[in-house]
Amino acid sequence: MAADGGRAALPCVFSPKSQQFLALCAQDGRLRIWNTDSKTLQQEYVPSAHLSAACTCVTWGPCRAVQEVPQRKRRKCEAGVAPELSDLLALGTAAGSVLIYSTVKGDLHCTLEGGHSGPVNSVQWHPEDSVLYSGSDDTHIAEWDLQTGKVRCKWKADRSAVSSLCISPDGKLLLSAGMTIKMWNLETKEVYRKFTGHSTMVTTLCFATTRPPDSNGMYFLSGAAHDRLLSVWQVRSDGKDKNSVVSFTLTDEPQHIDLQTSNCKDEPVRLAVVCKDGQLHLFEHFLNGPCKKPLSPVCSLQVSTMKGDSPMPVPLLAAALCADRQNLMLAYGHHLQPVMEKTPFDTSERHICLVRDVHGTLSLSVDTAVSKVKTPVVNKQSKVLVPGLPGHKAPIKLTPNEAEKRKKEDSTTEMSIEERLEKIELSVGGRDAGKGTSSLQTDSFAVLLVQGLESKDQRILTKIFQTKKEMLIKNTVARLPPQAVLPLLEELSSRLQGHPFAALLIVQWFKAVLTQHTSYLSSLPDLVSQLGSIYHMIESRVKLYQQLTRLHGKLYLLMTQVATNHSAKNVGNISHKAKLVYEEESSDEDEGSRDEGRPEDDSDNWEEDEAAMELTEDKKNHKDEEDNEEDDMNDESKANGDSDLDPENESEEE
């Protein structure tokens, strides 16, 4: 069985038994599955929250079939699929959720949420049931039911965070560790044994034997952060098992452990431990009681590459013991493109150094037939100086008079860091700012940036990286010495992983560095490994830009339609009652009111008004009689076939 590195920076583990695949979660949050046979990238998966909730632990499932997952967790096309557990990966995230990834489908099988309120530090499969166990920073252990995708049981395991878990081969006992180590009975969820543990956080737990605890033959080992000893504990039936019985010495804290368990007393436990310093240590020991003296490794292995005439160590990422007990599966190099190798080992040699050409596999391939660049012929006795290394610039020899003059100028013009920070805070864009102030600020920025990178002063670096002036950034980067370029890129890449608003300012510094120092960066042999993580990080963030743009367009269209419907409802609610009514023939009351408004009329002449009304009625009656006579004449003329009279003639006859 293989144990993940707990809080290791790069969770990685080989697939069980065959070691055909290597699952590795890189710094950019992507899960990459490499094929160890073909040495190629088999699959790559990017979780939706990989930037905010990175993967913290990875574990392969055991070799048996899993039952159906709930319908609400799967698509319709996935109905009836029962994959092997060995084809599934359990990923713990910093958001508290557990992702089940299927290598057959190349996508998520299901997502387990709602069990933890803190980051998940360890995930373990049950060897027989369709159950998963996870430990988190919220001090709890959750038991997940893979058939329903819900938490079956949850209990508090420690006062501090639960950093590591391990299940016994028979599936009846569970080990949990934070600062102390506890063994739980999975049926009753009660503490079966309690062990002292380490002085620091326990990061690794492994069962070393398959024997039951009643026979005093059950052993397990533990490793902790900043601890160079692996402790072996014995589970005794009398309960006198609070102290470790065996210790294995290491060169650094353990990062990855793989062991082959012992089935009987006559069979030794074989152990492969990858330490934080990149070395591999192999142990073989018969577990038959306490051993007072710490045990040294029977063999230590280191991978190195030749850089010039001197070898350079290459860190190991993971190691696995093959089933034939004669070979080792190694993964070393950079996490973006690890080198996988199956190599035999001989325990008769105490120290083994494997010399490999790692830079050749990571460097960019250039077709020599197409390239027009010719390599200059260099004499063997000549010395080539690389930019940025000591000795690249010859020292300038000054005369005594010039040295005294330079010393006086430096003593009078040299400013302290506080004074330079005050100069930065001054406004440069004002009306009275001249060219001298601008150049002074550029010089101060360049000097302060170099000092901040050397001393790693976050206050100075934060103050400098907050500037928004493109020309000031460009001039500052142009004045940097070559040896400060790589530390600047490392600082920018670490700050790029923070808040998106800070990334907007950091990208401008990246652009200035890549444009101003292109020649120096192209001369570096390990440029791919240094800029690869930055490239993948930016690519991951830009990948969602098109989807966000489409979502923005749909939301804008939806909000526009809602606003249009709302305005239409407001138009339909207009009152149909007239605010002003005008009547051409007014009533008596209106006439009375209108007469009051005209003082020139005489309101006492009632008789004249009545006489005028009678005269008007007579004229109206007379006009109606004339109209009737004209209609009769028109009818007679039409009957006789005559045409209608013209309006002019009609008016003359009248």
pLDDT digits (tens, 9 = 90+) for 370-406: 334 444 555 666 665 544 444 444 444 555 665 565 5
More confident residue, 398 or 240: 240
Task: Encode pLDDT of 499-516 as tens digits.
Answer: 667 778 888 888 888 888
Q: What pLDDT is attached to residue 421? A: 60
H or E element in which residue 178 lies: none
More confident residue, 575 or 256: 256
* Mean pLDDT along residues 607-621: 57
Distance of CA 3 to the CA centre of its chain: 25
Q: What pLDDT is attached to residue 431? A: 41
**Nearest alpha-carbon partner for 139 in 155, 152, 125, 153:** 155
Split at pLDDT 50, 70, 90, the class of 620 is low
Task: Encode pLDDT of 427-452 as tens digits.
Answer: 444 444 444 445 555 667 788 888 88
Which residues, in sequence order, are CB contacts of 99 under 8 Å at separation 6+? 47, 90, 91, 93, 108, 111, 112
Cβ neighbours of 43 (radius 10 Å): 17
State what percent of residues in the chain have pLDDT above 90.
Answer: 24
* Mean pLDDT along residues 631-640: 53
Cα–Cα distance, 502 to 500 (Å, whole number): 5
Cα–Cα distance, 8 to 316 (Å, whole number): 13
Angle at Cα 302 formed by Cα 298 and Cα 306, nearest 5°?
150
Task: Encode pLDDT of 118-166 as tens digits.
Answer: 999 999 999 888 899 999 999 999 999 988 889 999 999 988 899 999 9
* Mean pLDDT along residues 553-569: 88
Task: Encode pLDDT of 76-109 as tens digits.
Answer: 334 334 456 678 999 998 889 999 999 888 888 8
Q: What pLDDT is attached to residue 456? A: 80
Q: What pLDDT is attached to residue 400? A: 60
Q: What pLDDT is attached to residue 266? A: 83
Which residues, in sequence order, are CB contacts of 169 under 8 Å at separation 6+? 127, 207, 210, 261
Which residues, in sequence order, are CB contacts of 27 under 8 Å at separation 6+? 9, 10, 335, 533
Q: In this predicted structure, which of 253-267, 274-288, 330-344, 434-448 has the lowest mean pLDDT?
A: 434-448
Q: What pLDDT is attached to residue 389? A: 43
Q: In this predicted structure, which of 25-29, 153-157, 568-572, 618-622 has the lowest mean pLDDT?
A: 618-622
Cα–Cα distance, 480 to 388 (Å, whole number): 11
Q: What pLDDT is attached to residue 494? A: 79
Give, as one character, the DSSP assignment of residue 604. Answer: T
* Mean pLDDT along residues 214-243: 86
Calculate Rg over the CA atoms of the chain: 44
Query: Is residue 223 a contact partner of residue 202, using CB atoms and an 8 Å limit?
Result: yes
DSSP codes joined into one string, 363-383 = SPP--TTT----PPP--TTS-
Residue 654 has pLDDT above 50, yes or no: no
Cα–Cα distance, 9 to 5 (Å, whole number): 8
E strands, 94-167, where? 98-102, 107-112, 120-125, 131-136, 140-145, 150-156, 164-167
Name residue 508's amino acid. Answer: Q
Phi, psi for residue 576 in degrees, rounded to 5: -90, 5
Q: What pLDDT is attached to residue 436? A: 45
Strand order in the sheet with 55-60: 55-60, 88-93, 98-102, 107-112
Q: What pLDDT is attached to residue 272? A: 94
Residue 354 has pLDDT above 80, yes or no: yes
Is the sign of the CA dihedral 289, 256, 494, 111 positive or negative?
A: negative
| Packing angle, helices 500-516 and 458-465, rounded to 10 | 80
Which residues, in sequence order, are CB contacts of 488 under 8 Å at separation 6+? 449, 453, 477, 480, 509, 513
DSSP codes joined into one string, 539-574 = HHHHHTHHHHHHHHHHHHHHHHHHHHHHHHHHHHT-
Token pair 């452990």: residue: 257
Q: What pLDDT is attached to residue 630? A: 58
Residue 190 has pLDDT above 60, yes or no: yes
Q: Which CATH number fits domain 12-65+85-355: 1.10.287.3610, 2.130.10.10, 3.30.70.1230, 3.40.50.300?
A: 2.130.10.10
Q: Label the pairing between strands 150-156 and 140-145.
A: antiparallel
Mean pLDDT of the chain: 76
Q: What pLDDT is attached to residue 87? A: 83
Q: What pLDDT is attached to residue 435? A: 47
* Mean pLDDT along residues 270-289: 91
Q: What pLDDT is attached to residue 346? A: 80
DSSP codes joined into one string, 430-497 = STT--HHHHHHHHHHHHHHHHHHHHHT-HHHHHHHHT---HHHHHHHHHTS-GGGHHHHHHHHHHHHT
Cα–Cα distance, 203 to 179 (Å, whole number): 10
Cβ neighbours of 171 (radius 10 Å): 15
Q: What pLDDT is attached to residue 52? A: 62
More confident residue, 281 or 17: 281
Cβ neighbours of 36 (radius 10 Å): 22
Size of the chain, expressed as the number of residues it contains:
654
Structure tokens at 452: 């901040």
Phi, psi for residue 644 in degrees, rounded to 5: -65, 150
Cα–Cα distance, 58 to 130 (Å, whole number): 18
Query: Is residue 198 a contact partner of residue 178, using CB atoms and an 8 Å limit?
Result: no
Task: Encode pLDDT of 462-483 as tens digits.
Answer: 888 888 888 888 888 888 888 8
**Nearest alpha-carbon partner for 271 in 283, 263, 262, 279:** 283
Residue 45 has pLDDT above 90, yes or no: no
**Nearest alpha-carbon partner for 153 in 189, 111, 113:** 189
Q: 3-state secondary structure string, 54-101?
A: CEEEEEECCCCECCCCCHHHCCHHHCCCCCEHHHEEEEEECCCCEEEE
Q: Label the pairing between strands 299-307 and 351-355.
A: parallel
Cα–Cα distance, 347 to 282 (Å, whole number): 8
More confident residue, 597 or 315: 315
Residue 336 has pLDDT above 60, yes or no: yes
Residue 33 has pLDDT above 70, yes or no: yes
